[in-house]
Amino acid sequence: MTNLLPADRIRFPNISSAAWEHSTDRAALHSLQSIPGFDTVIRKVIGAIGERNIKLIFTAQALEVGPVQYSDLYELLVEVCETLDHPVPRLYVSQTPLANAGAVGVDNPFIVLNSSLIELSSLDQIRFVLGHEVGHIISEHSLYRTLLFILLQFSGSVLPVIGQAVTPITLALLEWNRKAEISSDRAGLLASQDLDMVVSALGVMAGGIRGSEDQISVAALRDQAAEYSDTSGLDTFFKFMATAGRTHPFPVIRVNEIDRFAAGEDYSSALAGNYVQRGDEPPLRDDVAAAGAGFSDSAQTVFTQADEYVNDALTNFAAALRRRARGG
Taking the C-alpha atoms of residue 205 and residue 192, their distance in angstroms, rounded to an integer, is 17
Q: What is the pLDDT of residue 237?
A: 47
Q: What is the pTM of this model?
A: 0.83
What is the pLDDT confidence band of residue 266, given thresholds at 50, 70 and 90?
A: very high
Q: Which residue from 204, 257, 328, 323 is spatially nearest to 22, judged by alpha carbons?
A: 257
* Residue 136 CA, distance from chain mean position: 5
8-state DSSP, 11: P
Q: Is the pLDDT of residue 208 over 70?
A: yes
8-state DSSP, 273: T
In the chain the first and final C-alpha atoms are separated, in Å, by 49
Beta partners for residue 64, in sequence order: 92
Taking the C-alpha atoms of residue 138 and residue 17, their distance in angstroms, rounded to an integer, is 6
- Give the CA distances from residue 161 to residues 41, 167, 202, 274, in Å, rounded to whole numbers and listed in that order: 20, 10, 37, 51
Q: Which residue from 175, 98, 83 is spatially nearest to 132, judged by alpha carbons?
A: 83
What is the pLDDT confidence band of residue 287, given thresholds at 50, 70 and 90?
A: very low
